[in-house]
Amino acid sequence: MIIFKKKTLKAKLRNPLLNFAIDEQEIELRRDPLTKKWCRININRVKRAHPGLAEDGKATKAVVERSKKGCPFCQDNVFKATPKFVNIKERMILNESVLFPNLYPFSVFHAVVVLSSKKHFIDLNDLSSKLLFDSLRNSIEFFKIARRKEPSFKYPSISLNFMPPAAASVVHPHFQIILDDKPTFFTDLLIKNSLAYYKKYKSSFWLSLIKTEKKSRERFIGETGSFSWVTDFAPFRNNQVSGILTEKVSSVTDLSKKQIKDLSNGLSKIFKMFWRKNVRSVNMSIFSSAIDKNIGSYFPVNLKIVSRPTLTQSYVSDIGFMELMNEEPVVETLPEEVAKSLRFA
Ligand SMILES: [Zn+2]
């Protein structure tokens, strides 16, 4: 049973924009049905016009142009300017995808996967499922090789920082992948709470969630084969989308070719729809169980995509004291509206 808990607060103020008339604003507090984390949505902020979008083209173009010269991930430099692994395959290439160690790693196995060394910049609109498919397969192959080398490292993750507002220091599109000896805090929370749900209700939280969302249609976006796509009821960032595998596989290293293809198709579709909504910067993380333990009956491979601010001259970060210091996110997009705008035809 999925519980969508929500409460509404009302704040009264004399609004200078309304000639100091009394204005009542609604704040929605929503609790994530799995993590139990609360978020806040101010309905008025949702409606607020976003300045800066119009100047988008300019700022993005300027950054892309400036970063072209000497880009370490472009094909002329990628084999000269990027590091090589020690004791395992130095670099891994699959069609246009090139994988090598991160120059400043967070863990023993932390790699960068350039989606295409041939194209310096690919906008969200053009990130094809073929490029994503190849880079996902390249990543998975790397996890298998690294695991054989160091069996205690068994937690894989695949992430994307796309454009500087999402913390990409290199504009050239690339995944960040890590094989770790422990799950991250958030992965661990997802796995533990999924197990607790499974024990309590004798069913998978994830399958129940999809069933519920599919029925209500409020936050259901669509399916790409074995993956279902929904917006999160209580998101921690704007335009938050979850992709969920509807088959019982929990480690990315156990995904079949068909499942990787379904995942790539979904990602490409969501990125395209985001682009149409004027989103120009995103973060994405794919969550996986440990390689050696299939817990797919209660924790299937799943992922989250969120939008980040658009690069403009009047750039304002979307993370402030509430998010960073208090771990209580404030979001400006209504999940039900987002789902409507992303729904697959
Ligand atoms: Zn480049």
Angle (CA) 290 296 302, round 5°: 75
Query: Could you tell me which residues are beta bridge partners of residue 83?
Result: none
Write the Ramachandran bin of 239: left for phi over 0, alpha for psi from -120 to 50, otherwise beta. Answer: left
Question: How far, in Å, is the centroid of ligand 1 from the Cα of 288?
Answer: 29
Query: Could you tell me which residues are beta bridge partners of residue 31?
Result: 5, 38
Is residue 284 a contact partner of residue 176, using CB atoms and an 8 Å limit? no
Question: How far, in Å, is the centroid of ligand 1 from the Cα of 76?
Answer: 9
CATH superfamily entry for domain 62-342: HIT-like (3.30.428.10)
Question: How far, in Å, is the centroid of ligand 1 from the Cα of 171?
Answer: 7
Q: How many CB atoms lie within 10 A of CB 125?
A: 13
Q: What is the pLDDT of residue 50?
A: 59
Only one residue has tokens 């990409």, namely 168
Q: 88: closest CA among 31, 150, 38?
A: 150
Is residue 310 a contact partner of residue 278, using CB atoms and an 8 Å limit? yes
Query: Could you tell me which residues are beta bridge partners of residue 224?
Result: 227
Beta-strand pair 92-94/38-42: unpaired
Question: How far, in Å, is the centroid of ligand 1 from the Cα of 170?
Answer: 8
Question: How far, in Å, is the centroid of ligand 1 from the Cα of 252?
Answer: 27
Question: How far, in Å, is the centroid of ligand 1 from the Cα of 46?
Answer: 35
Question: How far, in Å, is the centroid of ligand 1 from the Cα of 67?
Answer: 7
Question: How far, in Å, is the centroid of ligand 1 from the Cα of 23?
Answer: 50
Question: How far, in Å, is the centroid of ligand 1 from the Cα of 74?
Answer: 4
Domain boundaries, the chain: 5-47, 62-342
Q: What is the pLDDT of residue 323?
A: 96
Question: How far, in Å, is the centroid of ligand 1 from the Cα of 174?
Answer: 10
Q: What is the pLDDT of residue 14?
A: 97
Radius of gyration of the chain from its Cα atoms, rounded to whole angstroms: 21
Q: 146: closest CA among 206, 89, 93, 83?
A: 89
Question: How far, in Å, is the centroid of ligand 1 from the Cα of 342?
Answer: 30
What strand order describes the sheet that includes 282-287?
92-94, 97-101, 109-114, 174-180, 155-162, 282-287, 302-307, 241-245, 227-231, 220-224
Q: What is the pLDDT of residue 224?
A: 98
CA distances from 66 to 121, 165, 233 (A): 12, 16, 39
Q: What is the pLDDT of residue 55?
A: 60
Question: How far, in Å, is the centroid of ligand 1 from the Cα of 172?
Answer: 5
Beta-strand pair 92-94/97-101: antiparallel
Q: What are 55-112's pLDDT values in tens digits?
A: 667 888 999 999 999 999 999 999 999 999 999 999 999 999 999 999 999 999 999 9
Question: How far, in Å, is the centroid of ligand 1 from the Cα of 114?
Answer: 9
Q: What is the pLDDT of residue 52?
A: 47
CA distances from 114 to 41, 72, 174, 209 (A): 36, 10, 4, 34
Angle (CA) 313 316 320, round 5°: 160
Series of mean pLDDT values for 10-residue runs along the chain (345 residues) = 96 96 96 98 75 67 94 97 96 98 97 98 97 98 98 98 96 98 98 98 98 97 98 98 98 98 98 95 98 96 96 88 96 95 94
Question: How far, in Å, is the centroid of ligand 1 from the Cα of 195?
Answer: 42
Question: How far, in Å, is the centroid of ligand 1 from the Cα of 70?
Answer: 8
Q: 89: closest CA among 74, 81, 101?
A: 101
Angle (CA) 320 325 330, round 5°: 45
